[in-house]
Amino acid sequence: MKKIIFVIICLLTISLYAEKLDLNTASLEELLQLPISANQAKDIYDYRFYVKYFETIFELREIESVDQKTLNILKSLVIVSHFDDRDDTATRRDEIYYLLERLGSNEGLQEGMSDVWEDHLMAPQNINKLTFSEILNFPNVSAIDAAAILKRRARGDTLSNIRDLRHTPGISYYGAKNLGNYVHFKDKYLNNKHYSKEKNNYYHVARKLYKRPSPIGEVMCTPYVWVGKLADYGFIIPEKRFYFDYQMKYKDSPYDGDAQEMYQESMVRFAEDSPNSTNQSYWGYFDMNFDRAEVMNKIRFRFKNELKAGLLFDSEKGANFTDLSFGESKYFVGYENDLNLFGRNNFKIYAGNYRATFGEGLVMENTDYYSPRKTGFGFNKRITGIIGDVSRTQEYSLKGLALDWKTEDFNLVFFISDDDKDAVIYDSNGNDSLDIDDDAFSFITMTKRFSNDELEDAEFYFNDYAGNDNFVKIAPRLDAINEKLIGGHFAYSPFIGTHLGFSGYEAIYSRDFVVPEGVDLRNLLISDIEYAADKWKITDNEVSAMYSTKSAEFGDRNFRRVFGVDWRTVLHNISFQGEYAELYTTQTFSNNFFSKILGRKKNRSPKALLMSAFAQYDNVYFLSLYRDYDLDFDNPYQRSFSESNRYDDTVFEKLKYGLNNTLLGDIYNNAAQPSAEKGFYFETRYQFHRMWTLSKAYLDIWERKSDARKGVRFEGKLEFKPIHQLRFKLRFKEQVKRYEDDLDRGKSQADELELKCLTYLSNFDKIQLGYIYTRVNQPPYLSILSNPAEPGGADMAQANTLTDGDMIYVDYTHRFNENLKMVGSFSFWYANGASFWDFEDIELDFEQTDKGWKTWFNLHSKISNNLYLSLKYKYKQFKTREIEFREYNDIPDSGEYYFKTVERKENIIRLQLDWKF
């Protein structure tokens, strides 16, 4: 009886609403039928069209021609329904805004991948049609999760909703939760009854349905939103939509501390008299105090999930405010579609700039950015295969044509590239000039890409001071080498969760890479020839092992070849994966292969190996990883797991002030290759109680190949959550270098402890209090003294053997309304020689000053349905450390060896604008 009464009430309500005219949907002709004048009807229509939709009937009084009498007449004749003028894309964007905000702020390593993930967020894919590798490419999805889905599909089951996905046997909670944002569960078609063959336009179909009475509680909306709601009536609509994304980023602090230090180092160390000492460095010569602006403009187009294109215009880093011309540009055009050859498969073709990644990153992963301890799991994902690239990667960008054909059984990739690369060249022919006939020393990713004319003018200027015997004989050059690269990848999957793949490439260079040997190499890099042998350390073996196309052992060749094999298999809840790669040093593959068979070690190719195992359970996972990279495995496109990047602790890092050209510091500053290492890595996460979670813990034990230094690093994060609104977090990190020998002069130990208290407030606000204490125990280096002895005195110099420091901070998030929020922080630190990493919402800041404080805030605003703004301001005040360098035991009277404490202030602005429709 109650059900009958409820149905009757609903029918009466619908009939009542059907008799009245909706002011938010009525046409002008319908408004003219009301007992009002034509002018009033026209004013009502114009108000809705040009001003806004009505929220209440009383807003009619805001129209000048509608008086109270007219309003009283209309009250019984019209209604005002809730109207949403957003289309389905804007609605979807609002639902996942927090995810888009996180992806949009990514820079560097994940910038290109974020574009792909954002596309999938806005246009989810059918989970019932995706291949193993396509599922695995989604963030925070493991191979075990992907295999579980495919095994269920192989049994004939179709995933119908998110609950169905979560109940898939073998899938993890986090894997299903993350996948739910990127996939849907059935395609969208149109019922033939409503399909308009004449116009072939789904908008018009939706408009017809839009005229139908709305169910109780249904939101009245535009015809475009009805397109998204037709599935509720049994209609399915193919995605035929055009997407446009524009992003602008502005930052007025283009240089970090290492880069600024490099540019400020003097290039005129041997001049007895310098009339203008402020111009003895690149910083002074180019007047880089006014280099503030860095602007990036990125545009991406997409039609459905098939036709894609992108453009990137990036200003020169550190451009002057008066000159914001765009120096770098990238583009791509791509087509992706499902084919019906040999079953369901996906075909991609990209022209222009693209990104290629395979296996564990030993052979190919072309990005300019380095990420330590990149496991390939969790949030350290790799998107394998080919994708369009309009990220800020410049030096190792591939430009040409790439094909990617993927089925459930195999994957075939072919790519070619022809691009000019920046490189360091030196006076190899001895004619006292740097010209086109000189050899190259290495690739280099330059922090600021000065033009070749600017670099030559600066070098000529510095040579005037240094004299002809000390001219700048090694320097970076833009587009110094043309690289023609051809490569491919083939993988076969005999059954679900298992594949065996082969990857490789050959790069042919227009100029030879030649690394001098022995004394010649030291004298080329180090300016002070008299002390070059003393300044050259065992860690510089990594420099000596750099790749040469010409050598006495391997002859003359103008190419670099790298080949590898990768594998993966899933057994129940454990996945095993790995990759093996070799850098071939002989002219042909067969020569190298048969020398291995015959046991000849003379032409042994440098190799790299990485293997890992991942076990996944409901509340815990375990990851173990082993890597072994030869010292001379110099593959510029290697981005595999490592503890540090290449050239760590070499002259490019430790001796920037003593290099023949200080710009060589960028070889280390922007190094993207991993260091030559051998070691084991273990990682886990374990929720052992509802309130207690070991959110992450890892242990890394490794040996650096350049000097056989053994190190160990541990970090653990523990979280206690007594109630949902309150969390306490503890983090402890310890790293020991040379742990095997307590008496070794190179032994050091660094400890860091962090305590946090986080509370969630109403309206998604939150506040966090934190404290960090760090301590470093290091050997008594003679070059940096805290209490230097006076010449001729009886006092003994005291070394800085123990440094410690601490930081206290407050982080907060406040939402003013659903369209505006502010994230900010206050922090104070006393370092005393220690250093801290501080995460500032969307970027990291490295604190290595004596003491100071800073505050910053970031405003995130949704200006309109399609326009988003992020504005960050940071004020920083700090004191630099007092440091006195000793030129061995001879203290210079003056010059660059003494740095007194200086108080500095910084004001930094960062702006990001996103326009999406």
Nearest to 145 by CA among 127, 157, 160, 161: 127
Per residue in 492-538, pLDDT (tens digit) is: 999 999 999 999 999 999 999 999 988 889 888 887 766 666 788 88
Asked if 914 contacts 245 with a C-beta cutoff of 8 angstroms, the reply is yes
CA pair distance 346, 411, nearest whole angstrom: 9
Q: Which long-range contacts link 766-770 to residues 24+ away (Cβ below 8 Å)?
A: 766/812, 766/813, 767/810, 767/811, 767/812, 767/813, 768/810, 768/811, 768/812, 769/809, 769/810, 770/807, 770/808, 770/809, 770/810, 770/811
Q: Is residue 373 part of a domain?
A: yes
Asked if 338 contacts 350 with a C-beta cutoff of 8 angstroms, the reply is no
The mean per-residue pLDDT over the stretch 165-170 comes to 88
DSSP code of 134? Answer: H
Is residue 772 located within the same domain as residue 656? no
Compare 57 and 188 and report the one with higher pLDDT.
57
Q: Is residue 618 part of a domain?
A: yes
CATH number at residue 65: 1.10.150.320
- At 325, the pLDDT band (50, 70, 90 cuts) reads low
Angle at 637 between CA 258 and CA 394, to 5 degrees: 60
Question: Amino acid letter at 592?
Answer: N
Per-residue pLDDT at 13 exceeds 90: no
Is residue 811 located within the same domain as residue 671? no
Is residue 774 located within the same domain as residue 650? no
Is residue 775 located within the same domain as residue 665? no
CA pair distance 400, 418, nearest whole angstrom: 6
Is residue 660 located within the same domain as residue 771? no
CA pair distance 752, 87, nearest whole angstrom: 50
Compare 260 and 508 and report the one with higher pLDDT.
508
Q: Which is it for strands 784-787 and 798-799: parallel, antiparallel or unpaired?
A: antiparallel
Q: Is residue 142 part of a domain?
A: no
Element (H, E) at 202: helix 202-210
Cα distances from 12 to residues 7, 8, 15, 18, 562, in angstroms, run: 9, 6, 5, 10, 75
Q: Is 19 exposed, middle or buried (0-12, 13-18, 19+ CB in 10 A)?
A: exposed
Is residue 650 located within the same domain as residue 775? no
- 726: which strand partners? 723, 759
Give me the pLDDT at residue 594, please: 42
The mean per-residue pLDDT over the stretch 890-899 comes to 46
Is residue 628 located within the same domain as residue 775? no
Which of 44, 79, 114 marks a domain boundary? 79
CA pair distance 853, 863, nearest whole angstrom: 32
Is residue 470 located within the same domain as residue 619? yes
Phi/psi at 258 (5° precision): -65, -40
CA pair distance 392, 603, nearest whole angstrom: 38
Angle at 628 between CA 537 and CA 674, to 5 degrees: 60
- 329: which strand partners? 313
SS3 category, 175 = helix
CA pair distance 219, 233, nearest whole angstrom: 15
Q: How many helices (H) and strands (E) does the chain have?
A: 22, 40
Number of domains in the chain: 3
The mean per-residue pLDDT over the stretch 154-173 comes to 87
Is residue 666 located within the same domain as residue 771? no
- At 768, the pLDDT band (50, 70, 90 cuts) reads very high
Compare 189 and 561 and report the one with higher pLDDT.
561
Asked if 250 contacts 298 with a C-beta cutoff of 8 angstroms, the reply is no
Compare 611 and 76 and report the one with higher pLDDT.
611
CA pair distance 672, 393, nearest whole angstrom: 11
Tokens of 327: 């120096």
Q: Is residue 188 part of a domain?
A: no
Compare 692 and 221 and report the one with higher pLDDT.
692
Cα distances from 866 to residues 53, 245, 492, 842, 917, in angstroms, run: 18, 10, 43, 21, 6
CA pair distance 111, 105, nearest whole angstrom: 8
CA pair distance 22, 40, nearest whole angstrom: 16
- At 481, the pLDDT band (50, 70, 90 cuts) reads very high
Q: Lowest-confidence range among 649-663, 818-832, 891-905?
A: 891-905
| Region class of 832: left (phi > 0), else alpha (psi between -120 and 50), else beta | left
- At 664, the pLDDT band (50, 70, 90 cuts) reads very high
Per residue in 169-204, pLDDT (tens digit) is: 989 888 888 888 888 887 654 443 333 333 333 333
Could you tell me the sign of the dihedral formed by the alpha carbons of 66, 69, 73, 74, in that order?
A: positive
Give me the pLDDT at residue 16, please: 45
CA pair distance 144, 164, nearest whole angstrom: 17
- At 684, the pLDDT band (50, 70, 90 cuts) reads very high
- Where are the strands (E) in 319-455, listed by range? 326-339, 345-357, 385-388, 398-407, 410-426, 440-443
Question: Amino acid letter at 158?
Answer: T
Which of 643, 675, 707 marks a domain boundary? 675
What is the 3 state secondary structure string of 850-892? CEEEEEEEEEEEECCCCEEEEEEEEEEEEECCCEEECECCECC
Residues with Cβ within 8 Å of 550's Cβ and at least 6 positions away in sequence, in order, are: 439, 512, 513, 514, 556, 557
Per residue in 223-240, pLDDT (tens digit) is: 333 333 433 333 334 445
Residues with Cβ within 8 Å of 469's Cβ and at least 6 positions away in sequence, in order, are: none
Q: Is residue 105 part of a domain?
A: no
CA pair distance 863, 840, nearest whole angstrom: 23
As a 3-state breakdown, the chain gives helix, strand, coil percent values, each rounded to 5, of 25, 40, 35
Q: Which long-range contacts link 757-760 to residues 24+ away (Cβ below 8 Å)?
A: 757/726, 757/727, 757/728, 757/729, 758/726, 758/727, 758/728, 758/729, 759/725, 759/726, 759/727, 760/724, 760/725, 760/726
Which range in 56-60, 214-218, 343-347 is most confidently predicted, on average pLDDT?
56-60
Which of 620, 646, 675 marks a domain boundary? 675
Per-residue pLDDT at 797 exceeds 50: no
Place of tokens 């420091």: 805
Per-residue pLDDT at 409 exceeds 90: no
Give me the pLDDT at residue 678, please: 96
Is residue 380 located within the same domain as residue 520? yes
Q: Is residue 140 part of a domain?
A: no
Which range in 180-189, 334-343, 717-726 is most confidently predicted, on average pLDDT?
717-726
Give me the pLDDT at residue 543, please: 92
CA pair distance 127, 145, nearest whole angstrom: 12
Question: What is the residue range of 51's domain?
Answer: 15-79
DSSP string computed for 656-672: GGGBSSGGGGHHHHT--
The mean per-residue pLDDT over the stretch 487-492 comes to 96
Q: Is residue 798 part of a domain?
A: no
Per-residue pLDDT at 850 exceeds 80: no
- At 11, the pLDDT band (50, 70, 90 cuts) reads very low
- At 92, the pLDDT band (50, 70, 90 cuts) reads low
CA pair distance 73, 75, nearest whole angstrom: 6
Asked if 633 contacts 362 with a C-beta cutoff of 8 angstroms, the reply is no
DSSP code of 156? Answer: T
Per-residue pLDDT at 468 exceeds 80: no
pLDDT mean across residues, the chain: 80
Could you tell me the sign of the dihedral formed by the alpha carbons of 392, 397, 402, 407, in that order?
A: negative
Q: Is residue 165 part of a domain?
A: no
Question: Amino acid letter at 190?
Answer: L
Is residue 403 located within the same domain as residue 516? yes
